[in-house]
Amino acid sequence: MTKAEAIEAAALNLNYEQCGIIPLAEIDDYTERLNERIKRFPETRQQSERLYTFTQLNRTFPWAKSIVIGVRRYGKYRIPPHLKGLIGAYYCVDGRRDERSPDYQASYAFEAYLNQQGLRTFTERNFGLTALRWAALKAGLGTIRQNNFFYTHKSGSWVYLEAWLIDSELELKHQDTQKPCPEDCHRCIRRCPTQSLSEPYSMNRSTCVSYLTTFGPADLCKEPHYQEMGQWLFGCDACQDGCPFNRGKWSEDETFPGLDALAAGISLEKILDMDYDVLRKVMAPKFWYISEDRVYKWKINALNAMGNTFNEGYLPAIRKAAADPHEAVRAMAEWVAARFALPALPGSEGKGQDPVYG
Ligand code: B12
């Protein structure tokens, strides 16, 4: 067994679905993908430009020689049914920071293995140290489909990716045999609620629901896509859910530690009622794209989702939110109440009919 094969065997032993190794410089043509994306959506330049650091890794890590890529299936966990369509599945079972997660533990165990082999390593577990889909494609571990997602034969797109730099010139590539997307299949594009995905192999990251519900604006009253965001509270899976290549690829065989207990406390109404301390101490560590100092965004998102239902059963919760300690939440509640064509809320006479933020 070669050293590269031994690394792969160790990864598979730790339940990685796949593992590959590519030379460091092979990632560099990702620059062209990024150039194309910025040219297509110049309004995303500022955010997208940060991703150039995913290439030319030898500048920051002169010792690094190769990239080890690991693919992990998350389409095996039971997602509480009432969270589907509200919270992106990846975020429900996110093992990047959750020490209880078997995936978190495997990631550290794999890195320890690499180090035991005398390899110097570096990784970045939050957002990845390089362009993970592009690296996995180069290693032949799967394919990238028109919705930009990386798919494996076994799990469809319900996989997430990890990468480590190592200081040894190793290579381990596979051959992917999946069929490409039929040219006339545009289901993912049709499914995208905001037309962020409007053409194959491209997307506008600033209008993606996943962005709008997380890092994006807290002030959804001004957000042109507030209606299309539908019920999504955190993340979005629309372009993956609609893909025929994902059919039958999710099997709920395992439970994710703590998810059922946490989910019992999550609904649109429960979020509106949630104490800020709970939002900071329970929600922020789990769903960490909304940081502790922005947790009021959860209430903004819940109000927006309620506003998109026109379910009058939500009115008491919306009225209560009009007295929330956070000003932006109060304003959002007023605005959503106005969408229900309600009379002005008590104490806000004259403001109820017009959206607060126009
Ligand atoms: C920035 C980022 C985001 C941003 C912007 C998304 C984006 N697509 O750029 C935001 C916050 C919106 C986001 C959201 C999500 N993300 Co994200 N994100 C990333 C990150 C950090 C970089 C992505 C990137 O390189 N973007 C730049 C553009 C240029 O690349 P791209 O969109 O991936 O497009 C590729 C294809 O178009 C391909 N390509 C172009 N032309 C052609 C032509 C052909 C023929 C082929 C084959 C390919 C091809 O080249 C591009 C390079 O890979 C990666 C982690 C990482 N370090 O790589 C995770 C990552 C892409 N995210 C991931 C996930 C799961 C999500 C969410 C599903 C979470 C959720 N449930 O809400 C959403 C989905 C949003 C969506 N519809 O894409 C996973 C995807 C796993 C997979 N199976 O593909 C990744 C890989 C993280 C991980 N550790 O696994 N994300």
- The total of other beta-carbon atoms located within 10 Å of residue 248's CB is 8
- Atom index in ligand 1 nearest the CA of residue 201 equals 37
pLDDT (mean) for 195-199: 98
Residue 287: closest CA among 355, 341, 230, 234: 234
Distances from the Cα of 263 to the Cα of 85, 89, 100, 160, angstroms:
13, 12, 16, 22
Ligand 1 centroid from CA 54, angstroms: 13
pLDDT of residue 157: 98
Residue 310: its pLDDT value, please? 80
**Interatomic CA distance for residues 240 and 230, integer angstroms:** 16
Angstrom CA distances, 289 to 94, 165, 170, 294, stand at 11, 25, 34, 10
CA of 149 to the centre of ligand 1 (A): 6
pTM: 0.95
pLDDT for the residue 345: 52
Write the residue with the smallest CA distance to atom 16 of ligand 1: 210
Residue 348 has what pLDDT?
A: 43
Residue 358: pLDDT band by 50, 70, 90 thresholds? very low
Q: What tens digit of pLDDT does each residue of 227-261 get?
A: 999 999 999 999 999 899 999 999 999 999 999 99
Tell how far the Cα of 135 is from the centroid of ligand 1, in angstroms.
12
Structure tokens, 108? 């550290």
Percent of all residues in the chain with a pLDDT value above 70, rounded to a whole number: 95
H/E run at residue 73: strand 66-73
Alpha carbons 176 and 283: distance in angstroms, whole number? 38
The stretch 105-127 carries a mean pLDDT of: 98
CA gap 191, 37 in Å, rounded:
21
Spell out which residues line ligand 1, taking CB within 6 angstroms. 30, 33-34, 37, 51, 88, 90-91, 127-128, 131-134, 144, 148-150, 157, 159-161, 201, 203, 205, 208, 210-211, 235-237, 239
Question: From CA 158, how far away is CA 76, in angstroms rounded?
Answer: 9
pLDDT digits (tens, 9 = 90+) for 281-331: 999 999 999 999 999 999 999 999 999 998 989 999 999 999 999 999 999
Q: For the chain, state the CA radius of gyration.
A: 22
**Which pair of structure tokens corresponds to residue 27?**
């990632």
Domain extents in the chain: 3-166, 218-234+265-358
